[in-house]
Each structure stands twice: as structure tokens, then as C-alpha cells.
Amino acid sequence: MYTRLFKIQNIPHHQSFFLFGPRTTGKSTLIRNYLAAEQGPKIVHDLLKSDDFLKLQADPSLLRHEIEALLHEGQGPIQIHIDEIQKIPPLLDEVHSLLESYPGRIRFLLSGSSARKLKKGGANLLAGRAWQRSLYPLSFLEIGEHFSLLDALQFGTLPSLVDRTREEKMEQMKAYVMTYLREEIQSEALTRRLDAFHRFLESAAYSNGELINMTKMGQEAAVPRKTVASYYEILEDTLIGFFLSSWGHHHSRKELVTHGKFYFFDTGVVNTLTQNLSTELRPKTPLFGKFFEHFCILEFIRLHDYLRTEHRIGFFRTRSGVEVDLVQERGDKIRAIEIKATSTITKDQIRGLRSFSEEFPEAELIVVSNISQPIQLGKVRCLPWQDFFKNEWKMITLG
């Protein structure tokens, strides 16, 4: 059991919320543990259980009757956890009505692994009455002293994998990807062509963290470009990955690329889809560097999302090939972050940051890498990746 950075306790006690995240990231466990320590009446419905699902699907109003029975007995406030809420979208109409009928007396904790069915079906997302939050695989900061960088790059950091043997991790990741294909895609009827979607998934995994060429990917998957775009939309809506946009600034004089990059939510999923789980990652290899960059970007996204940082984030790349892995803009402050898997940093490795600095001289320039001690190269601050993320969390939490 790991202490999560995301704290339900930080959400006001009267505030209902959605907690979305990919399967097995620990949403249900987090909410169950929270409710176990809470006083007062609770109601739990797990829509993965057939009895709960069939009962509420047949008659969503049963939820209202159950809650009102407790309220009429004088009990309250009541906390209601509905897991996998996307399986019965009409339940949200009941939730909405109950929140309006009994303000301050009930609180809904709604969790799910996909928002797609809710969005596409025009489901009632409660018009702001419930906040939306996300839960990710474990962060380096959450795992703590048991963290292994090599394991994280190769197998990812889903909570159910962290303490397993290498063989168990391999088998579990393979089963995880197959479960996703079967349950999230096929059973939800998100696409009629599972064979084409499977080919697309493999192509998307090989293109992880690279500029997206949807025309080329369509050729590889034998589907039209429009279908590739819809497949990426499925990955986003089922929380399997996200787009990182090209960061542009109205003061930039350089011609920038406009294509985005797509990152899967977990490094282990990429290795599984590309059939590289049994290939041991070795430092100082291109593959290690690619996965190290992926890992650092995931850590950065998770930390800032957990604390609701207001910022604009993307990557910087000119058509001449000058690139910076991450650019963060908060108000009038800009940070340019380059990620290097090497244990030494040379001046040649920070050319992208130097070029960026020519246009934005006030920008903070940072290299996140495998060096053992912080160093300064002119305006560029080079940090061990562990120090960077520890400092990042402190900086955000302390304001």
C-alpha cells in the first residue's frame, strides 16, 4: 500500500467529484480506504459486479429510493460511492436530481475508467456540481525507497505491478493490454474493427513521443486518416494517453512545427504493445533514452495535475530541427526543460535550450538528467531527475 499524492481529504467535505483514471490505477482502493476512515452513513455500488449493474441498469431510480430511505430516517450527511459510473450513464440524471433536492446532505464519489461513453452519449456531467479529478499510476515520489528506474521504464508503475517479480510483471502487463482491448474497446462497442484498432495501437506505441503523422499511420493500419484521428480520440477518452501540443508564442520569430506528440499513460503499456517487455533496457542506449524522456514527462504531468497547476505546456520544435522537450508557461514566466538520460551534460546537449533562450532571454532553462549532482552551465541549471521532481513537488505545494 502506497500513500498517494492525490488526497481526497483536500476536496471540501461537501463537494461531490468524479475520479477518472485508467483501469487498476487504484481509484476504487483510494476511495474505499477514505470512506473506511470516515464517520457517518455510506452507500457503495460497484457496477463491475453483475448484481449491482443489472439492478441499477434496469431501474436507476432505485438509487434515489435507497438514499431517501436513509435521509428519512434522519441519517446524514451520506457519502455515496459509485464505481465505473460510465457503465450506466442514466444514473447521473438521478445523481443530479438528488444533489439539487438534498443540498449539503449527500455527497457523491463517482469513479470510472472512461469518460468517452458519458461524453459521446450526451450524459449528464452534473453541470459543475461535481469536480473532475484524475488518478494516475504510481509516481516516483509515491513509491519512495522501493523505486527502481529500470523497472519503471520497462514495466511502468501500475500499483498492482510494483512489488511483483519480473515474470509476474510481464504476464500481468500482457493481460492488462488484452483486457483493455476486450473490455474497454470491444465490450463498449467503441469501434467495429478491432483488428484495425489493434494494428493502430501497435503503430501508435512505436510512435509514442514522436511527431504524429496520421496519414502514414493510416497506411500502416490499413484505415483512412480520419479513422486514425478517431482512434486517437478513443485513446484520449479512455485515458490511455494524451496529446502534448506544440508550444508556440506570439513573440516567436521562428517557424514552428504544428503537429502534436502522443504519449501513452504508462511506459509498460508501450513496451507491451511493441513486444519489448522481455528486452532488458540498458543505460546509454537510444531505447533507454526514449523511455527515460517518456517517464519524466509522465511524472511532470502527474505532479502538476494533482495540484491543479494553471499553466500552458507543450514542446518546442522549429522546422529546422531545434527542439526543447517541455515548455511550461505560467502567467508571464516561462520554463524550458530538456530531458537527457545521460550521466554527464555537455554544451552540445543544451543547444536547443540556448536557441530557445535567444528568443526568450527571461526563460528559466533546466536540464533533467541522470547526473549525480546539480551543475550550472551558463544560464542552464542541470539537475538529477530525482532532485528535480522532489523540488517540483515542494515548489508546487508550498506555492
With bands split at pLDDT 50, 70 and 90, how would you rate the model's confidence at 126? Answer: confident
Virtual torsion, Cα 37, 23, 385, 3, nearest 10 deg: 10
In a domain, 287, yes or no: no
Boundary of a domain, candidates 251, 282, 313: 282
Instruction: Provide the β-strand partners of residue 130.
Output: 16
Boundary of a domain, candidates 134, 156, 186: 134
In a domain, 353, yes or no: yes
- 277 and 151, same domain (yes or no): yes
- 276 and 393, same domain (yes or no): no
- 54 and 158, same domain (yes or no): no
In a domain, 379, yes or no: yes
- 125 and 149, same domain (yes or no): no
The answer, yes or no, to whether the previous bond of 77 is cis (omega within 30 of 0) is: yes
* C-alpha–C-alpha distance, residues 235 and 55, integer Å: 30
pTM of the model: 0.92
Q: pLDDT by residue (tens digit) across 253-266?
A: 555 556 789 999 99
- 163 and 277, same domain (yes or no): yes
Other CB atoms within 10 A of residue 203 CB? 19
Of 99-108, 134-143, 274-283, 328-337, least confident by mean pLDDT is 274-283
Residue ranges of the alpha helices (H) in 102-206? 116-120, 140-143, 149-155, 166-179, 194-206
In a domain, 256, yes or no: no
Q: CA-based Rg of the chain, rounded to a whole angstrom? A: 23
In a domain, 29, yes or no: yes
Which residue from 85, 75, 181 is spatially nearest to 124, judged by alpha carbons? 85
Structure confidence at residue 121 (pLDDT): 55
Boundary of a domain, candidates 134, 165, 194: 134
| For residue 170, pLDDT beyond 60 | yes
| For residue 182, pLDDT beyond 90 | no
Structure-model confidence comparison of residues 58 and 278, the more confident one: 58
- 272 and 304, same domain (yes or no): no
Find out whether 239 and 22 touch, Cβ atoms under 8 Å: yes
- 120 and 144, same domain (yes or no): no
| For residue 398, pLDDT beyond 60 | no
The x, y and z cell numbers of residue 138, run together, are: 504510481
Which residue from 243, 237, 234, 157 is spatially nearest to 197, judged by alpha carbons? 234
The cell 493481460 sits on which residue? Answer: 175
What is the extent of the structural domain holding 391? 298-397
Q: Which CATH number does the domain housing residue 16 bear?
A: 3.40.50.300
Of 13-22, 48-57, 190-199, 351-360, least confident by mean pLDDT is 190-199
CB within 8 A of 93, min separation 6: which ones?
60, 124
In a domain, 2, yes or no: no
Q: Which CATH number does the domain housing residue 346 bear?
A: 3.40.1350
- 273 and 340, same domain (yes or no): no
Find out whether 78 and 41 touch, Cβ atoms under 8 Å: yes
- The number of distinct structural domains making up the chain is 3
Averaged pLDDT for residues 344-367: 93
Q: pLDDT by residue (tens digit) across 45-79?
A: 999 999 999 999 999 999 999 999 999 988 779 99
